[in-house]
Amino acid sequence: MSADAAEAERVLRPGSAPTLDELVQLRAEFARFMLQYQFGIREMTTKIEILREEFLHLHEHNPIEHVSARLKTPESIIDKVSRKGCDPSFEAIRTTITDIAGLRVTCAFVSDVYRIADMLSQQDDLTVLAVKDYVARPKPNGYRSLHLLVQVPVFLSDATVPVTVELQLRTIAMDFWASLEHKIHYKYDHEVPDDVVTGLARSAATAAELDTLMEDLHRRVHGDRAPGPRRGDPIVPSDDALEHLRRIRDGERGSR
C-alpha cells in the first residue's frame, strides 16, 4: 500500500479529526480509487462491444441487444459500507463492495445470456470470481438475471490493477420486469403491499414464459442455426455480411 493510501485510510477511520491537508489527500486518493473502476468499466464495455460488432457484421443473429454501465456514486458506496458493516478502508471496500463498477447486458434470448457469459468467461485476461445464476434459480420475488463477478486487469502507468466488475446478463423480458420492480420498491420505500408483491411474482412468471415462447419461435425460424456459433467455432459470415465484404472488395466503401 502506498503512503498516500495509508494516510487516506487513516483519515477514513472514524474518531480522528482530519486536517485540511489530510482531506485534500483523501480526496485525491478517492478519485484514484474511483478512476480504476471507471477504467474497469471501459475495459469490459470494449470487450462486449467487440463481441457485439463481430456478431453484427459476421453472423445472422446478434445476441446483444443493449449494454449499459454505471459507476456507483460515492454516497451509495458509503451507504453500502455502513449497511454491510465494512471496515472504512479502501482495501476493505475493494473486497467487500463488489458492485462499484457494474455492467448490464441485455440479450434477446435466454440462450444468448449464457452464450455471452460463456464467451466472456473464456477470455484469457478475465477471472470469474463468482457466478449467481438467478435465471436457473430465480429469487423468491421472481427476479431473474445471470450475475458474473469478474476481475479485469487495468494497465496504469506504474502498475497493473485487477478491477472487479459486476456483470448482469438478462433478457429483454427480465430487464423489463426488474426495472419495474425496482421502481415499485422505491415508490413504496421497500414496504411493498402484499397484492403488489403477488402481482410482481405473477408477472415474473409471465416474463419467464414469454422468454420460453420466444426462444422456441427463434429456434423454429432459424432452425439449427438458432443457437448461433459458440466460441471456437469457425466463423461463418451471413449472406448479408458476405455481400457487405464483396462491396468493400469492389470499392463501394460506405455504401452500407
Q: Which stretch binds ligand 0O2 (CB under 6 A): 60-68, 140-148, 192-200, 212-220?
A: 140-148
Supply φ then ψ for residue 188, to 5 degrees: -95, 10
Beta carbon nearer to ligand 0O2, 25 or 89: 89
Beta carbon nearer to ligand 0O2, 56 or 71: 71
Enclosing H/E stretch for 131: strand 127-133
Cβ-based burial of 256 (10 A; exposed 0-12, middle 13-18, buried ≥19): exposed
Q: Which stretch binds ligand 0O2 (CB under 6 A): 49-57, 60-68, 139-147, 243-251?
A: 139-147
Q: Which of 27, 182, 187, 246 binds ligand 0O2 (CB under 6 A)?
A: 182
Please state the closest distance from residue 243 (CB atom) to ligand 0O2, in A. Answer: 41
Which residues inside 79-138 make contact with ligand 0O2, applying CB under 6 A? 99, 102, 132
Q: How far apart are CA 102 and CA 8, in angstroms?
A: 25
Q: Confirm or reject binding of residue 33 to ligand 0O2 (CB under 6 A).
A: no
Q: Confirm or reject binding of residue 181 to ligand 0O2 (CB under 6 A).
A: yes
Q: Which of 147, 148, 150, 174 binds ligand 0O2 (CB under 6 A)?
A: 147
| 105 bridge partner residues | 67, 169
Q: How far apart are CA 132 and CA 125, in angstroms?
A: 21
What would the grid cell of residue 163 be?
478491477
Q: Which of 76, 78, 100, 74 is nearest to 88 (CA)?
A: 78
Q: How far apart are CA 58 and CA 107, in angstroms?
A: 18
Residues that bind ligand 0O2 (CB under 6 A): 99, 102, 132, 139, 141, 143, 147, 178, 181-182
The catalytic residues are 166
